[in-house]
């Protein structure tokens, strides 16, 4: 169906008639341009009657009507399309500290750093969250809101892909990241606030301690799921041969567990990319997407058709006036 975005502009249609009625008509100059002393000789000559054609005026009127119709922004409305909206506000906090460069993960049998693996798995998770408003927090020495809450999952994934190690500093401010999430989610409806925090270390920076930030989150009914990432052991080559090391020795699991339990969430341990993917799939089950049916109509603009016709008619009328 066709709808007008600004139908009130149709009130301008009678404007030319009002101007013609209100403004005084043009009076031709009564003074003769040429005096002929023998004018009496032309008394018997036939009278020349000049008639002005009306149809250019009609063309101008049609052009005006088309211009007014174009100004109302006519639109073609398509069939209603169902859109899934869960009403959940989900914030994803990703650690960008220097320790995330450890290459103890594998993607397609190729060693990659922790951040690369986290991006790949998190993007799949974000893409599945149809109907959720998703935001992105990046933290290191400082915590930054990279993406506010939005339904535009593609933009969130793009900005996550563009995140680089050390972008927010080399340390880890877990408490500040939680505090920023509390600030951004605190005004949203209750029972819909979720934070997924992913880190590979312990809190080494920031102004707010993680447990204090967790208390603030609990007061705001913000549920936090924490994910500790990093392998338990990996082989390191040295001059004396290969030796096993624990690349996750700095991971503060006790604090992450307390944060999750105090806010009604859960703590997960991801030692490889497969475990990380399973965690996100489990989060899909813990926080299911309950779709509320909402509908919207796709629309396309049509104003350029009457506008183009009005301009063509106006150009034609102008050309006729110049020719005459």
pLDDT, tens digit, 9 for 90 and up, residues 87-110? 678 999 999 998 888 888 888 888
Burial class of 21 by CB neighbour count within 10 A (0 to 12, 13 to 18, 19+): exposed
Q: What is the mean pLDDT of residues 146-155?
A: 92
- Dihedral sign for Cα atoms in the order 176, 181, 184, 188: negative
Distance CA 307, CA 249 (A): 69
Q: What average pLDDT score do residues 162-168 get? A: 88
Share of the chain above pLDDT 90, in %: 32
Using DSSP's 3-state secondary structure scheme, residue 132 falls into coil
pLDDT at position 49 is 45
User: At what angle are helices 273-286 and 114-128 packed, to 10 degrees?
Assistant: 30
Q: For 44-92, what is each residue's pLDDT tens digit?
A: 555 444 445 677 778 888 888 999 999 998 988 877 765 555 567 899 9
Q: Where are the domain boundaries for CATH 3.40.50.410 in the chain? A: 85-294
What are the tens digits of pLDDT across the range 289-323? Answer: 655 555 567 778 888 888 899 889 888 888 777 66
Average pLDDT, the chain: 82
Helices (H) and strands (E) in the chain, counts: 9, 15
At residue 40 the predicted structure's pLDDT band, cuts being 50, 70 and 90, is low
Class at the top of the CATH hierarchy for domain 85-294:
alpha beta
């Amino acid at each position: 169906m066709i709808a007008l975005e600004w139908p009130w502009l149709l009130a301008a249609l009678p404007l030319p008639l009002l101007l013609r009625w209100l403004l005084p008509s043009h009076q031709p100059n009564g003074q003769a341009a040429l005096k002929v002393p023998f004018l009496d000789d032309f008394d018997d000559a036939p009278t020349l009657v000049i008639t002005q054609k009306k149809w250019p005026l009609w063309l101008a009127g049609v052009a005006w009507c088309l211009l007014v119709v174009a100004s109302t922004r006519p639109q073609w409305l398509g069939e209603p399309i169902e859109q899934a909206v869960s009403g959940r506000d989900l914030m994803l906090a990703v650690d960008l500290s220097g320790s995330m460069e450890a290459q103890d993960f594998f993607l397609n049998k190729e060693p990659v750093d922790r951040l690369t693996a986290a991006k790949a798995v998190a993007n799949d998770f974000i893409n599945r969250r149809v109907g959720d408003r998703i935001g992105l927090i990046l933290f290191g020495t400082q915590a930054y809101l990279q993406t506010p809450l939005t339904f535009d999952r593609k933009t969130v994934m793009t900005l996550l892909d563009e995140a680089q190690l050390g972008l927010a500093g080399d340390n880890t401010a877990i408490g500040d990241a939680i505090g920023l999430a509390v600030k951004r989610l605190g005004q949203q409806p209750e029972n819909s606030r979720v934070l997924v925090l992913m880190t590979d270390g312990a809190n080494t920076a920031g102004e707010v301690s993680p447990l204090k930030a967790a208390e603030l989150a609990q007061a705001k009914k913000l549920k936090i799921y924490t994910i500790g990432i990093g392998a338990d052991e990996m082989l390191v080559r040295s001059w004396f041969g290969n030796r096993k090391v624990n690349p996750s020795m700095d991971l503060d699991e006790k604090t992450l567990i307390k944060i999750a339990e105090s806010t009604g969430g859960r703590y997960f341990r991801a030692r490889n990319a497969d475990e990380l993917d399973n965690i996100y799939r489990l989060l899909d089950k813990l926080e299911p997407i309950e779709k509320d049916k909402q509908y919207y109509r796709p629309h396309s603009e049509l104003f350029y058709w009457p506008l183009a016709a009005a301009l063509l008619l106006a150009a034609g009328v102008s050309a006729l006036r110049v020719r005459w």
